[in-house]
Structure 1
């Protein structure tokens, strides 16, 4: 049974980097955080080059259009208006050429835009996929301490929602930013070519718009991060409650939990609305100031045409380039808002990627000796283990224990004695502060984690069943096992008969977390999984606790057969399951207080004898 001492994390190294939900990196004052995406962008230089080339062509075509319009107005319509007799000659030919040129520019623009859209969309999807893979691969390597201090819903929010924001930036916003930057610069140059005086005036006015955009941009970024955090909190809450729905319904807390979630999503909504209002204000200010400046300058230009200081074509060209510049500024302010949101998302993902596991494999791991025919040896050498949350109380204190190959050792004791903590240390989910644990004479801290855990099979009390069929759930014990080997393991675990009775046998879907199975059936699936792995060391955490009497008899017989040729450590509260163990270890307060067989410990009259008297009293009296 799960020991109370497993509730707190620990390690022997410096404390693991705090989980994202409890530790935020320092807020950054700009979108410089997006530089953290460079390692994910670097492998695709060729695609970025192609997108950039298409972008340049499209921008050049766009900037050429106003010049074509100037030619059309001045040399086409202008000459036609001034020389009516020439309509059928030079003017018409020139207009035809101008319109053919405009159509050619439009075709080039369409092809380049389509190529740019395809390439950057591919990049967005590819980079987002790579980020999701990297984040998930990093998260699944974390020690149990990480998962005890981080809500699963928050991690899922970062992998899904945050990466979607990054996809929008990589797949759209970066391209739009570069495109509009080119249009802004090119349009600005052409404005000065057309009319230096009007251009100087409009630039001076546009500079005045930068300050409010910067101020509101920073506020949008902060609110974007807050909004994403609130959504993650709501997602974490929903995940926790949905996973505990039977308990929620048993205690009739449906309305309470619905209200809690409602309050959480309402908080997220209010934060999002603050962000939306700030972005709306940013957009409004940018548009009013930019277009106000343009209208004023165009008013000056109209007077210049009237006074003969510039031609109608020049003014038309100036208007189009001013529109391009204004549109570019508006688009850049919009892109900046998206970039601010993506910066917050990137920051959250980088936090997750920066978390270092407290348990890491050594740089140069040792190898285990060849497997012995009768299993592995296991030793604890003066092991002391404390949880940081209870530094005044040792979960294990100066524990020394030697388990011989092929030996079956049962560990019993009251709750909180440190039984399950032993299993956590054997699997190296945590490291002790003092002492060492040896597997076949090798310190487990010198072993690769896959090597160590590959040598250990465990049947936990709380069985995990995956959303898959029975065959794949058992095959989880050894991914390369054949169907025949899976079925053989199921027979040994007394699971074959009930699996065969399922609607489609071994191909039957077991439901999320095994909801279609009874507790005893789930336990037998877990036992079959461990037997399929065929490890030299078997850990049984009250492996028959969820079984009825008949199933317990079958599984106990199967386990006894499975123990042959391997070392077995059993945690048990029901002493009937450990009476035939080679040795029984009695723990109390993290120490071994008694050792012996069932008979010798009962005769000793100590803690074990008291436990046995309590558990067997009814049975003795009935006989």
Structure 2
């Protein structure tokens, strides 16, 4: 991405604040003009103040310089405030735009992109852009104006010396262009390496208990040190190029100024120019040199900004595989009072990250409205995949999934998912209090409704035992709770949402026997007049399901009640034998 492309990409975020931009531009031009006018004050000071005989002329020259200094200070304040405000505002909008886009992306994107790298783009890259927009870009524009203005005033001051400057300028600009390309490549590599460091650290912190339980602290310290050294190595190469660029430009510029001083000094001695003109010329020449040196230094920062902008724009340009608003079917037409009929018709699905392996193969399944279906089978059979397809986290490559006859691809995804509540095997809890976590599916629920849902899930008692009750913060991912407590909160959240379709993925796997009994009673109440799909490895929890489907290798190989499946499904019979002793005696066969 070139600097022009970077500006074009960022312009849509700057455009709403054109008024502030114009104000900053006016302040920028004003301060540049005042700074350049100081050169004329220097000329007056030398010709009429220092070398003249009049004390009044000296006072006048000093007063002019003081007035210009005050004006420059006022203009600099306005420029710095407006440009810094603009940088903060644009980056805040950009962060919101990136996050708003991230939360709509398809889950497959996060299978192939690490969360740490995405967070680096959202934080590190945007912070870099804030510095560039709020500081470096302003400095670059100011220096460019100073350069052009000083060059014009040089032409008016002494034409011969100005022509010498014009010949030398291209020699100074060549290193900026040459080294700038190297800096841009190294800047993007540096940002990528920093993202790798953050991603690695985030993963280790997230799994710190596993790291410590396997006593891998020293290994992880060494591995992280290697990541840090890699990032430092890339940064060192970038810094070397930038430093060399600045050094070469400064050497060339001040070498040229020295040459101009020698030529101008000889002209002054010969009487071809006044000492004031020479002082003004030197002032403008130094101003040009400083401007070019500043531009060369800021140019490296702009190259880093180009790399950061490119990474952010790549993220913003990722297209969601499943659009959110692609249907106009009203919710009432897909779920009645008794839930919704769910049907899978000839469904075949392969995960984008594993296209060679079919997770679901030619699957036919029908769940009547208000009935419950249990899915059983070995790990990897495709049970959880069915729930993900039903929530439309993925679309099948072949076949269709319908709710009351309506293809879910014709529904708005938000409309679809509002009809469902999910209790996963590993509940997701947020770093907030209990109120927030329980209300996540129904933000407008009253305190009484929340407490009633917690009681129904047998979570109320342990919540009251927390340090601040329902106001207790749960820590990152609910680290302050046991596995069973997390699951009961997830069940309470589902109860509170009061969905038409209930999806339970090993919802009681982390509960002790007594808690499981009580929660099963709560779930039986919750499942009434709702279409329910239950995934369970413990067959005792699904004996009362209206229908049980046995899955293996992405297919339904048998359906029926517990008693029927004992007779017709060798796989189900083997699973039952592993879990029940004398099941034929203790669990009478269902002859119905």
What pairs up with 1:123-202 in 2 under 5 angstroms? 123-202=86-165
Matched residue of 1:510: which SS?
coil
Instruction: Judge which range, 192-201 or 366-375, deviates more.
Output: 366-375
Aligned to 2:50: 77
Structure 1 pair 363/564, CA: closer, same or farther in 2 (3 Å)? closer
Aligned to 1:582: 546
Aligned to 1:109: 72
> In the aligned structure 2, how far is the partner of 1:622 from the partner of 1:141?
50
Contact kept, 8 Å, 2:374 with 2:534, in 1: the verdict is yes
Residue 546 of structure 1, aligned match among 484, 506, 510: 510
Matched residue of 2:581: which SS?
helix
Contact kept, 8 Å, 1:135 with 1:349, in 2: the verdict is yes
Where does the alignment leave 5 or more consecutive residues of structure 1 unmatched? 1-27, 81-90
RCO greater where, 1 or 2, for CA within 8 Å and sep 6 or more?
1
* CA displacement, residues 62-81 of structure 1 (integer Å, 9 cap, x when unaligned): 1111111211221233332x
Q: Structure 1 residue 482 and structure 2 residue 455: aligned?
A: no
Residue 409 of structure 1, aligned match among 373, 396, 401: 373
Contact kept, 8 Å, 1:585 with 1:596, in 2: the verdict is yes
> In the aligned structure 2, how far is the partner of 1:388 from the partner of 1:168?
38
1:369 shift after superposition: 2.8
Contact kept, 8 Å, 1:369 with 1:440, in 2: the verdict is no
* CA displacement, residues 148-197 of structure 1 (integer Å, 9 cap, x when unaligned): 11111101111111111111111112211111111111100111101000
Residue 26 of structure 2, aligned match among 34, 53, 64: 53
Aligned to 1:368: 331
What pairs up with 1:232-381 in 2 under 5 angstroms? 232-370=195-333, 371-381=335-345
> In the aligned structure 2, how far is the partner of 1:49 from the partner of 1:589?
64
1:389 shift after superposition: 5.1
Residue 616 of structure 1, aligned match among 580, 585, 588: 580
Q: Structure 1 residue 422 and structure 2 residue 386: aligned?
A: yes
Aligned to 2:590: none
Structure 1 pair 392/195, CA: closer, same or farther in 2 (3 Å)? closer
Aligned to 1:40: 13
1:104 shift after superposition: 1.2
Contact kept, 8 Å, 1:58 with 1:109, in 2: the verdict is yes
Contact kept, 8 Å, 2:326 with 2:411, in 1: the verdict is no
Structure 1 pair 50/306, CA: closer, same or farther in 2 (3 Å)? same
> In the aligned structure 2, how far is the partner of 1:284 from the partner of 1:363?
57
> In the aligned structure 2, how far is the partner of 1:34 from the partner of 1:420?
45
Aligned to 1:87: none
Contact kept, 8 Å, 1:162 with 1:345, in 2: the verdict is yes
1:621 shift after superposition: 9.9
Aligned to 1:63: 36
Structure 1 pair 389/173, CA: closer, same or farther in 2 (3 Å)? closer
1:222 shift after superposition: 1.0
Structure 1 pair 621/497, CA: closer, same or farther in 2 (3 Å)? same
Matched residue of 2:349: which SS?
strand
> In the aligned structure 2, how far is the partner of 1:547 from the partner of 1:433?
37
> In the aligned structure 2, how far is the partner of 1:556 from the partner of 1:48?
62
> In the aligned structure 2, how far is the partner of 1:322 from the partner of 1:45?
34
Where does the alignment leave 5 or more consecutive residues of structure 2 unmatched? 588-592
> In the aligned structure 2, how far is the partner of 1:606 from the partner of 1:619?
15
> In the aligned structure 2, how far is the partner of 1:384 from the partner of 1:156?
34
* CA displacement, residues 585-611 of structure 1 (integer Å, 9 cap, x when unaligned): 111121111111111212335321221
Contact kept, 8 Å, 1:469 with 1:507, in 2: the verdict is yes
1:390 shift after superposition: 4.7
> In the aligned structure 1, how far is the partner of 2:96 from the partner of 2:399?
37
Aligned to 1:18: none
> In the aligned structure 2, how far is the partner of 1:605 from the partner of 1:559?
27
Say what the alpha-carbon RMSD is for the aligned residues: 1.6
Structure 1 pair 585/303, CA: closer, same or farther in 2 (3 Å)? same
Aligned to 2:193: 230
Aligned to 2:526: 562
Aligned to 1:100: 63
Matched residue of 2:534: which SS?
strand
Aligned to 2:404: 440
> In the aligned structure 2, how far is the partner of 1:605 from the partner of 1:106?
92
TM score, norm. by length of structure 2:
0.96
Structure 1 pair 605/124, CA: closer, same or farther in 2 (3 Å)? closer
Structure 1 pair 551/145, CA: closer, same or farther in 2 (3 Å)? same
Q: How many aligned positions are there?
A: 586
Structure 1 pair 56/284, CA: closer, same or farther in 2 (3 Å)? same
What pairs up with 1:389-404 in 2 under 5 angstroms? 390-404=354-368
* CA displacement, residues 467-492 of structure 1 (integer Å, 9 cap, x when unaligned): 11111111112111111111111111
> In the aligned structure 1, how far is the partner of 2:536 from the partner of 2:50?
98
Q: Structure 1 residue 518 and structure 2 residue 491: aligned?
A: no
Structure 1 pair 291/238, CA: closer, same or farther in 2 (3 Å)? same
> In the aligned structure 1, how far is the partner of 2:118 from the partner of 2:369?
41
Structure 1 pair 605/566, CA: closer, same or farther in 2 (3 Å)? closer
Residue 600 of structure 1, aligned match among 564, 571, 574: 564
Matched residue of 1:539: which SS?
strand
> In the aligned structure 2, how far is the partner of 1:378 from the partner of 1:78?
97
Contact kept, 8 Å, 1:385 with 1:433, in 2: the verdict is yes
Aligned to 2:84: 121
TM score, norm. by length of structure 1:
0.92
Aligned to 1:12: none
1:365 shift after superposition: 3.0
